[in-house]
Structure 1
Amino acid sequence: MDLYAERLTTWLPVVANGCEIQRANVTPSQWINRYVRVPYLSRALNDRFYSRYIIYPRVAKTFQGDVNHVLDHSYGHLLRALNPQRTIVTVHDLYPLHVSCQSALTPREQARKWLLRWVMGHALRARWLIAPSESTKRELLSLTDYPASRISVVHMGVDEVFFRPVEEEAQQQFRQALKVPEAARLLLHVGSCDPRKNIPLLLQGLKALLDRSGADFYLLQIGGRFAPDQIHLIHHLGLASQLRQRSNVSADELMGAYQAADVLLLPSTYEGFGLTALEAMASGTPVVASDIGALREVVGEAGVLVGLNDPAQLAAAVMTVLGDVRLRTQLVEKGRARAAAFRWSETARKTLAVYHRVYSERA
């Protein structure tokens, strides 16, 4: 969660009231040639492997503060180097535990399963945990024996850039760059293409819209790469011409995508928070999302929630949002108001309060 780390690094000093905030950074490229290449990993992944599991723990051991904050549970192994009684870990979601419970068929899958359990096991040694949603906290309590009294829910925030007024000319230019016809409807999905993002439902919903509405729909996917089975489904459904994908975009391009889109689709089977939904709502884009814990908590009544496995329901929800002007207007207004309640400054204040709590109890 690079964004989470960057925003806390920006906002914590603003609200720190005399506390010194330092962030440990590692430049792994200077170390990579010192180690033997791990089989089956590319150079980039080797770089990531060594920096995460060897270099970061070394840095952490010599870079301890009165309070330590591991900003991502996937670095939970740093608790081997840090004093657990002075350390906080943000657990963004419990997906690693869900994955580790699945059957592992190949040696690589077995190794990944073991690594996930190992990392999460160390993360749970921390003095305090921060969860981004009540849903994630409930999962922590149901899947682990970590005490509820030492879990704080601290929501993430929305960048101010997403609240900018919509510029129609910029919208048109963005759609033209994608080669999306002016009269067509543009659907947006932001995130990875991992299994939990439910890409098959997204594609089947698009197919249902094209077949039943008679309108022209395009889908822009930002932030991921379609997996081979997803590409096969795309061609099987005849959707290749209706899809656009951008793996890497700038903050301005992402804002442009939100404002150019008619609807954000978020059909995930699992989320720890749902930041993309908030960004879309801040941008004035209606949200159609899965009716699951974290998304239900974040979106509330400011969006439309649908089931996990029904393409027809997803398509019907999109058509309702696009066809009912009054509903769309209400969703835009409620969405902006909802998103405005999630500010990074407040995230930083609540995080700092956890720091003070752990500091007062330090061993």
Structure 2
Amino acid sequence: MSGIVIGVDASRNRSGGAREHLIGILETLDPTAQGITQVHVWSYQALLAVLPNHSWLIKHAVPKLENGLISQLWWQAFNLSSELKKYGCHILFTSDASSLCHFSPSVVLSQDLLSYEPGVMASFAWGRARLRLLTIRYLQNAAFRRASGVIFLTQYAANLIQSICGPLRNTQVIPHGVNPRFFRDSQTIPAEKKVFNAGTKSDPIRCLYISNAALYKYQWVVIEAIGLLRQKGIVIELDLVGGGFGPAQDKIMAQIALTDPQSQFVKKHPFVPHSALVDHLSSADIFIFASGCEAFGITLLEAMAMGLPIASSNRSSIPETLQDGGLYFDPENPAQIAASVDKIILDPALRKQLAHRASQLAKQYSWEHCSNETWGFIMDTYKKIAKQ
């Protein structure tokens, strides 16, 4: 079989994790080894600008993708198939499952669980936000069912989605990778605080939570939990990194006003570039991850790679990634969050054990492995279809 031409629909890759995934699997792709001649990527200009430059990688900027959701879906439904045929693509890789393109054969990547996670839909009042989630679930179910193959990021996601959309004929679980810059060896890990069990005014215990503001991220509950620890006399601070707006942002700001009215220990940072996250992680003592829904927790994995002790939500796919590398809590229970963080603070041996275990688990993940598995699955799927 001669070299294969693969088309990639990256029109809907808007989240940080989705962008990093595409960058990661393209930067580490060896097309010759996979039997690939060319990869064509259709997307919006800002994403194409950060993709690697290779002779085999052809980037197509689509003006309609700079517009809103309706314009994006219209382009997928009525323009993408003809573009794929025009450039001789043998198979389509859809890197976001909310697609209306009917090109065949195709492989779809699932990166969004919001429409499927029990309880998450109910957190959105009836209106535009919930209608959007219902529409996305309908689009994704249709895309999964007509696809020649489906890639999931975790087994949890594979099981949950198929329990709703029905069994799928050709699937594989391929987790995200992690950038090597997030790993640090024992020589670069800062010395532990001399008074970790209570912190000091000049050297407080620093907790970090990286996430956009969303109703299923529960930042306001974490703020309340840190307030409970402050009431116990622990000198502790919380850095919240990630932009946001709407009801979740309002809840965060209201909780800050209630818990820390003098702005002494809760610091809210806007969105920062992915490359800047290493600096935030390096200055943290404890990482808190309170999400209630994750197809795959990429920021969690990055904190694991940094060797931070982690207090984490017990929901969704998170335990599949973190395993025994952290302490768990109910993300809607501030007392449980406070207790988990307090236990990490008071037990030096546990801190060291959790940090080491999390770092070791993170070493199982790489973009090289993710890339090889992803492109290999796409090629295998095409070969099966070609034989029929």
CA contact (8 A) 1:96 1:120 kept: no
Task: Supply the distance in 2 between the matched residues of 1:241 and 1:169 (Cα, whole angstroms).
Answer: 24
2:153 equivalent to 1:132 = yes
Instruction: Determine the structure 2 residue equivalent to 1:41.
Output: none
Distance 1:252 1:46 in 2: 24
1:228 counterpart = 2:289: no
Q: Which residue of 2 aligns with 1:143?
A: 164
Distance change (3 Å), C-alpha of 1:169 and 1:155: closer
The whole-number CA distance in structure 2 between the counterparts of 1:6 and 1:171 is: 35
Is 1:193 the equivalent of 2:213? yes
Quote how far apart the aligned CAs of 1:31 are: 7.2
Distance 1:198 1:268 in 2: 7
Greater Cα offset, 225-234 or 268-277:
225-234
For the 8 Å contact 2:326–2:358, the answer to whether it is kept is yes
SS at match of 2:328: strand
2:341 alignment partner, one of 304, 308, 318? 318
Tell me if the contact between 1:28 and 1:47 (Cα under 8 Å) persists in the aligned partners. no
Aligned residues: percent identity? 21
One-letter identity of the residue aligned with 1:68: L
| 1-10 or 138-147, which deviates more | 138-147
1:9 to 4, 13, 26: 26
Aligned-pair distance for 1:361? 2.2
2: CA distance between counterparts of 1:344 and 1:15?
18
Q: Which runs of 5+ in 2 are unaligned?
A: 1-17, 47-60, 194-199
1:273-329 per-residue CA deviation (whole Å, 9 max, x = no partner) reads: 111111111112111111124111100111111223321221121121122111111
Displacement after TM superposition at 1:88 (Å): 0.8
More helix by share: 1
- Length-normalised TM-score, structure 1: 0.83
In structure 2, the residue matched to 1:303 is 326
Contact 1:96 1:117 in 2 (8 A): yes
Q: Which of 153, 157, 175 matches 1:155?
A: 175
Q: Distance in 2 between matches of 1:7 and 1:243?
A: 33
The equivalences for 1:234-253 within 5 A come to: 234-238=256-260, 240-253=263-276
Moved more, 322-331 or 114-123: 114-123
Task: Say if 1:89 and 1:329 are closer, same or farther in 2 by CA, change over 3 A.
Answer: same
For residue 268 of structure 1, report the CA deviation from its aligned partner.
1.4
**Cα–Cα, structure 1 residues 103 and 6, in superposed 2: closer, same or farther, change >3 Å?**
closer
**CA deviation string 1:252-291 (max 9, x = no partner):** 4200111111111111121111111111111121111111
Compute the displacement of 1:120 (Å): 1.6
Q: Structure 1 stretch 195-204 or stretch 18-27: which is displaced more?
A: 18-27
Q: Deviations over 1:140-187 (max 9, x none)?
A: 12111132x422100111100001347578999xxxxxxx96411111
Query: Which moves more between the two structures, 6-15 or 261-270?
Result: 6-15
CA distance in 2, matches of 1:103, 1:322: 35
- Measured after TM superposition, the shift of residue 136 of structure 1 is 0.3
Deviation at 1:117, TM superposition (A): 3.6
> What is the rounded CA distance, in whole Å, between the counterparts of 1:120 and 1:296 in structure 2?
24
Amino acid at match of 2:108: V
SS in 1 for 2:41: coil
CA contact (8 A) 1:222 1:247 kept: yes
Residue deviations 1:228-261 (CA, integer Å, cap 9, x gap): 1321122122354322222232344200111111
| TM-score normalised according to structure 2 size | 0.78
Say which of 357, 367, 379 aligns to 1:344. Answer: 367
RMSD between aligned alpha carbons?
3.0
SS at match of 2:353: helix
Secondary structure, aligned partner of 1:95: coil
Flag the structure with higher strand content. Answer: 2
Q: Unaligned 5+ residue runs, structure 1?
A: 36-44, 173-179
Work out the CA distance in 1 between the residues paired with 2:205 and 2:72. Answer: 42
Match of 1:210 in 2: 230
